Amino acid sequence: MQELNAFTIAQQQVNTAGDKLGVSTEIIELLKEPKRVLEVNFPVKMDNGSVRLFKGYRAQHSDVVGPAKGGIRFHPDVCVDEVKALSMWMTFKCGVVGLPYGGGKGGVVCNPKELSQNEMEKLSRAYINAVAQIIGPNKDIPAPDVYTNPQVMAWMMDEFSKIKQTNHPGIVTGKPISCGGSQGRNEATARGCVFTIREAAQRIGLELQDATVAIQGYGNAGSIAAKLLHEMGSKIVAICDSRGTAHSMDGIDPYAAADHKAKTGTVEGMAGTTAIKQEDLFTLDVDILIPAALENQITEENAGDIKVKIIAEAANGPTTPDADKILFKNGVLVIPDILANAGGVTVSYFEWVQNLMNYYWSEAEVNTKLEKVMVDAFNETFKMSKEHASDMRTAAYMVSIDRIAESIKFRGWV
């Protein structure tokens, strides 16, 4: 049975891509571990008057090309290995789209579903106090992740600004627009993903206006990707969420699906659709598959039955390394997570740039800049994959490692 630990998978990817590039062992070893991991324990006074001690982390994988960047997760399963792995993925995600950032990730072990709004605010502020020494607009810039949102980012920005006695909107991204957030950030992950799908389709001669699509996950990434592809003429034939599925060969209206989910809590049961088994969504005879929910969904068990031409990984880590080999052999074009979902961190970068210059762009400006970043990154990755006869994931790591290794050498770290 293959080890599905995110950290070891990322380390394997670094080995494979580094070897293919001919990068030195010193650089590969440097990239396989985070530069710094901070563990903090901090008290929060709860609504009932008791005081609870919470444990949190901040991992900074690399800061060689710029400050660390990555989300903060509030979840009971947060652990040091998880933040280390996620910080490493952030380094390579920023690298493949050429952002001047390294990777970071943080988390607090807690169950937000059991916390009041008041306790969430105290926890968010206390965490920032605990990690304030190692973060900063030019050191490490957090963002939202699982169970943290624009409100949490606003509290964190406010707390950091109080500590420093200076307004610091650039300390976190993913803020509300009124606190220095960027236009277009909410749609950025899906929009970026759809730009890469459009480029991939052109390369294989697939017309998006005739294409059929299946999407796992109907949250931020999945539902917005469905709407954007629908607007480009593609037919969404299957969608699902954690509670159910909807399938129609005539096509699903993604707006009606979002309304149905808002009213009933699931996409299942909407008019004109039938339910299918969750696992059957992956093996439908469609052109494009977008995993937009969870890790480890495409494995050696189902990869051989996948019939699509393009898989665009809006989710992080949906495909296992064994499944990758099968998909590559079968000629499926996989747009890997570090490329396909990099639109989110790209617009976070735009938010930070706008904060630093205190001058704000329109949504159209943001989208145009996002398109250029995503198209360039897709082209470089595609070219690398052709030059080295490799799958797109290895090629994306190669593009990224090539950039980072050059900076490491110039700075004299090895």
Contact residues: ligand NAD, CB under 6 A:
189, 216-222, 240-242, 278, 292-294, 314-316, 341, 344
Is 127 within 8 Å of 171 (Cβ atoms)?
A: no
- Which residue's CB is nearer to ligand NAD, number 143 or number 398? 143
Nearest-CB residue for ligand NAD = 219
Q: Are strands 51-60 and 36-45 parallel, antiparallel or unpaired?
A: antiparallel
Q: How far is the CB of 75 from ligand NAD (least distance, A)?
A: 12
174 by Cβ neighbours in 10 Å (0-12 / 13-18 / 19+) ranks as buried
Is 173 within 8 Å of 72 (Cβ atoms)?
A: no
Residues 6+ apart with CB under 8 A from 381: 96, 339, 392, 395, 396, 399
- Which residue's CB is nearer to ligand NAD, number 295 or number 406? 295
Query: What sign has the CA pseudo-torsion 134, 136, 141, 146?
Result: positive
The residue annotated as part of the active site, out of 105, 122, 175, 261, is: 105
Q: What is the DSSP string of 173-188?
A: SS--GGGTPPTTTTTH
Q: How far is the CB of 46 from ligand NAD (least distance, A)?
A: 26
Residues 6+ apart with CB under 8 A from 103: 60, 61, 62, 68, 69, 70, 86, 87, 88, 89, 90, 91, 92, 93, 94
| CA–CA distance, 78 with 61 (Å, rounded to integer) | 17
- Which residue's CB is nearer to ligand NAD, number 223 or number 354? 223
φ/ψ of residue 187, rounded to 5:
-95, -5
E strands of 156-306, at which residues?
212-216, 235-241, 244-247, 288-291
**Is 45 assigned a catalytic role?**
no
Q: How far is the CB of 406 from ligand NAD (least distance, A)?
A: 26
Q: How far is the CB of 167 from ligand NAD (least distance, A)?
A: 25
- Which residue's CB is nearer to ligand NAD, number 148 or number 341? 341
Q: How far is the CB of 22 from ligand NAD (least distance, A)?
A: 30
- Which residue's CB is nearer to ligand NAD, number 18 or number 98? 98
Residues 6+ apart with CB under 8 A from 370: 184, 188, 191, 192, 195, 343, 346, 347, 350
| CA–CA distance, 252 with 226 (Å, rounded to integer) | 9
- Which residue's CB is nearer to ligand NAD, number 18 or number 102? 102
Q: How far is the CB of 189 from ligand NAD (least distance, A)?
A: 4
The residues that are catalytic are 105
